[in-house]
């Protein structure tokens, strides 16, 4: 067999008995290599059909005998399979490769499931079974093979595969998928939490807290997604007993899309995925209706005082009245608003109680940033200790200081355009140091948008450039194409990854007397700089802590690199001096 040519073999036939016969005829007409790779080697296959609304229903599988497996599928009497087999337009793609073995095809199948779930073109995929494998002889080649196969399909069948592989992997739906292979630390966390949830279901006690702590980029959301999918998969369609809550509009949007893709719910407005306030208000109407489990992503964003329609004092305390178990995902360094501020004693008490009851879990391994420990320590010293030392050399992570915001924007545009070598999804971000109102057009100087303005350079703040396409509006801020010409803030980027982040450090962060300082008077982030009333009625100002957290969120978004520009001249000079090219 000729294995020099290592391109994937892809055959498209109708999904039917006649289609199988046609596949055999095609292979007999082709060279012997194709016949061996598709009939004797393991293969991956995709069955698909387009519904009346132009959306695809797909099934991804792998097999060591494509003929036998297809016949088994054609005989399947379940409704979805009947729909595929009885429809004359259903098609099947059969994929072979000389490197395919059982473990590798299971991994490729898993990658297809995650990637098709991320496609706007796909309504849902029938196979939602995780098959992520551990290490094996050819695992090193897996992602390269998958990317080659996906891009080949993208070029031939663009309607089903509208994005290239790099763009697909950049989507929030792909990154939040419950089917990623978990690290040992994440797997242990899921197992430990599952055991505690089971214990809580037995003793019937309300309000038991499982406290999961981890810094930005430690894989908290993927772990949570995996956990929730395992809970829902064991119960079927939402029964009103398990909920996933998040106090972040952009993340809520992605979770709701995922819930539809994975068939957790039939209706995108189902309150299984919602905000804490909605859950609390609905359950206050029906106090006897108790939940089994609530998972709260970004629990540090929950309110600890009344706001808008929420009239309570602490959302977590209120959630405890309505559920047996609440799993909270917490990072105190990502608290950004005064209404989210937790008094230190309150956090310590929650942690201490969770530790005593064996319900405290900490994630420590950095999974987002490819930076080494020396680089992450340097960033932490910059943000929280006010120190800027010489940045250690890091072959895996790029940090540069740009001469101007214009140069920074141009660099991000180039990185966003070039999708090879880990480039791609990249955006400009900034500390919240310029005026912005969510509703209302600026009326000074004839401006059309609220802008980040530095000298003569300016770009609109997030979510202002017009979008007519409803499909684009459904995407998270960073994935909307027009946002390459906007500046993002913590309110649009928190919880999401970028390949490269270009961060403008505004006038609220300065360098004085050999130290980085934060100046609330130069911030426009009223949510962070106003006073906070404590439980005892005392008013305090926590702006220093919240502005540090704001910078922390911005500087930890980039997977592969970080570009900086500081408005404060002294800070810019200090960064240039210590970050060598």
What pLDDT, in 10s, does the model give residues 247-280? 989 999 999 999 999 989 888 888 999 999 999 9
Q: Assign residue 436 a region (left: φ > 0; alpha: ψ between -120 and 50; beta: otherwise).
A: beta
What pLDDT, in 10s, does the model give residues 404-432? 999 999 999 999 987 765 678 999 999 99
What pLDDT, in 10s, does the model give residues 334-355? 988 888 887 777 788 888 889 9
Read off the pLDDT of each residue in 283-299 and give the average, rounded to a whole number. Answer: 92
* 548 domain residue, yes or no: yes
Q: Which residues contact 526 (CB under 8 A, 6 or more apart)?
A: none
CB 530 within 8 A of CB 459: no
* 547 domain residue, yes or no: yes
Q: Assign residue 217 a region (left: φ > 0; alpha: ψ between -120 and 50; beta: otherwise).
A: left
Same domain, 358 and 403: no
Same domain, 425 and 552: yes
Same domain, 501 and 548: yes
Read off the pLDDT of each residue in 55-84 and give the average, rounded to a whole number. Answer: 91
CATH number at residue 222: 3.40.50.300
Range of the domain at 24: 9-170
Given a cut of 70, whether residue 573 has pLDDT beyond it is yes
Query: What single DSSP character describes residue 263?
Result: T
Query: What single DSSP character describes residue 335?
Result: -
Instruction: Identify the bridge partners of residue 124 per DSSP, sorted by sequence position.
Output: 57
Given a cut of 70, whether residue 179 has pLDDT beyond it is yes
- pLDDT-derived band at 199 (thresholds 50, 70, 90) equals confident
Q: Where a domain ends, among 146, 170, 194? A: 170
Same domain, 415 and 552: yes
The tally of domains found in the chain comes to 3
CB 19 within 8 A of CB 12: no
What pLDDT, in 10s, does the model give residues 1-29? 343 447 899 999 999 999 999 999 999 88
In the block, tokens 């950004």 appear at 336
Q: What is the pLDDT of residue 339?
A: 83
Same domain, 322 and 382: no
Instruction: Give dist(CA 504, CA 564) in Å, integer.
Output: 6
Which of 372, 378, 407, 373 has the alpha carbon at shortest distance from 574?
378
- Between 366 and 534, name the one with better pLDDT: 366
Same domain, 469 and 530: yes
* 322 domain residue, yes or no: yes
* 268 domain residue, yes or no: yes
Q: How many CB atoms lie within 10 A of CB 491?
A: 21
Q: Where a domain ends, among 293, 328, 363? A: 363
Same domain, 416 and 352: no
Same domain, 307 and 397: no
Given a cut of 90, whether residue 438 has pLDDT beyond it is no
- pLDDT-derived band at 443 (thresholds 50, 70, 90) equals low
* 2 domain residue, yes or no: no
* 177 domain residue, yes or no: no
Q: Where a domain ends, among 363, 389, 421? A: 363
Read off the pLDDT of each residue in 558-575 and give the average, rounded to a whole number. Answer: 97
- Between 319 and 367, name the one with better pLDDT: 319
Read off the pLDDT of each residue in 208-220 and give the average, rounded to a whole number. Answer: 92
Given a cut of 60, whether residue 143 has pLDDT beyond it is yes
Q: Which residues contact 556 (CB under 8 A, 6 or more apart)?
A: 215, 216, 217, 368, 369, 379
Starting from the edge strand earliest in sequence, which strands make up the sheet with 291-297, in order? 273-274, 242-246, 291-297, 323-330, 208-214, 360-363
Q: How many CB atoms lie within 10 A of CB 420?
A: 7
Lowest model confidence (mean pLDDT) among 82-86, 397-401, 531-535, 544-548: 531-535
Same domain, 165 and 188: no
What pLDDT, in 10s, does the model give residues 94-112? 999 999 999 999 999 999 9
Same domain, 194 and 338: yes
276 three-class SS: helix
* 285 domain residue, yes or no: yes
Lowest model confidence (mean pLDDT) among 307-311, 513-517, 563-567: 307-311
Same domain, 388 and 262: no
Same domain, 397 and 280: no
Read off the pLDDT of each residue in 365-376 and give the average, rounded to a whole number. Answer: 93
Given a cut of 60, whether residue 236 has pLDDT beyond it is no
Which of 428, 500, 69 has the alpha carbon at shortest distance from 59?
69
274 three-class SS: strand
* 443 domain residue, yes or no: yes
């Amino acid at each position: 067999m000729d294995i020099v040519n290592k391109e994937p073999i892809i055959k498209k036939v109708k999904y039917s008995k006649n289609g199988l016969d046609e596949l055999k005829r095609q292979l007999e007409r082709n060279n012997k290599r194709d016949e061996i790779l598709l009939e004797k080697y393991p293969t991956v296959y995709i069955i698909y059909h387009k519904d009346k609304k132009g959306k695809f229903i797909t099934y991804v599988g792998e097999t060591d005998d494509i003929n036998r497996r297809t016949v088994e599928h054609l005989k399947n009497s379940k409704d979805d399979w009947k729909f595929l087999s009885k429809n004359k337009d259903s098609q099947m793609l059969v994929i072979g490769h000389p490197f395919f073995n059982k473990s590798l095809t299971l991994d490729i199948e898993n990658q297809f499931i995650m990637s098709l779930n991320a496609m706007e073109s796909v309504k849902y995929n029938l196979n939602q079974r995780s098959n992520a494998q551990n290490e094996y002889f050819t695992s090193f080649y897996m992602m390269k093979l998958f990317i080659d196969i996906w891009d080949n399909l993208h070029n031939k069948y663009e309607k089903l595969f509208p994005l290239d592989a790099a763009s697909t992997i950049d989507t929030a739906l792909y990154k939040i998928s419950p089917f990623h292979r978990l690290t040992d630390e994440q797997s242990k966390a899921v197992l430990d939490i599952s055991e505690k949830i089971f214990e809580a279901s037995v003793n019937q006690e309300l309000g038991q807290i499982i406290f999961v702590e981890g810094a930005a980029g430690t894989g908290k959301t993927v772990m949570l997604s995996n956990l929730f999918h395992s809970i829902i998969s064991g119960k079927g369609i939402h029964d009103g007993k398990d909920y996933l809550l998040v106090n972040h509009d952009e993340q809520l949007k992605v979770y709701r899309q995922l819930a539809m893709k994975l068939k957790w719910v039939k209706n995108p407005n189902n309150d299984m995925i919602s905000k804490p306030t909605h859950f609390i208000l609905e359950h206050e109407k029906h106090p006897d209706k108790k939940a089994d489990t609530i998972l709260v992503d970004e629990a540090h964003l929950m309110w600890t005082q009344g706001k808008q329609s929420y009239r309570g004092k602490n959302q977590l305390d209120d959630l405890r009245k309505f559920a047996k178990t609440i799993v909270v995902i917490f990072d105190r360094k990502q608290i950004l608003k005064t209404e989210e501020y937790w008094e230190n004693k309150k956090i310590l008490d929650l942690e201490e109680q969770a530790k005593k009851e064996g319900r405290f879990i900490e994630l420590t391994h950095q999974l987002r940033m490819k930076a080494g420990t020396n680089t992450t320590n340097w960033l932490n010293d910059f943000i929280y200790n006010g120190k800027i030392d010489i940045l250690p050399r890091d072959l895996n992570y790029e940090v540069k200081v740009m001469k101007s915001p214009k140069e920074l924007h141009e660099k991000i545009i180039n990185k966003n355009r070039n999708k090879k070598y880990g480039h791609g999804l990249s955006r400009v971000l900034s500390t919240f140091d310029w005026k912005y109102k969510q509703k209302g057009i600026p009326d000074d100087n004839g401006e059309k948008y609220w802008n980040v303005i530095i000298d003569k350079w300016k770009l609109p703040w997030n979510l202002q450039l017009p979008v007519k396409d409803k499909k684009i509006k459904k995407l998270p801020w960073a994935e909307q194409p027009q946002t390459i010409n906007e500046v993002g803030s913590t309110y649009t980027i928190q919880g999401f990854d970028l390949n490269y982040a270009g961060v403008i450090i505004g006038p609220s962060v300065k360098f004085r007397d050999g130290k980085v300082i934060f100046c609330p008077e130069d911030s426009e982030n009223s949510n962070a700089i106003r006073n906070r009333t404590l439980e005892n009625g005392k008013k305090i100002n926590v702006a220093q802590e919240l502005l540090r957290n704001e910078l922390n969120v911005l500087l930890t978004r980039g997977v592969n690199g970080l570009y900086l520009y500081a408005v404060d001249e002294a800070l810019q000079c200090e960064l240039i001096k210590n970050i060598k090219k």
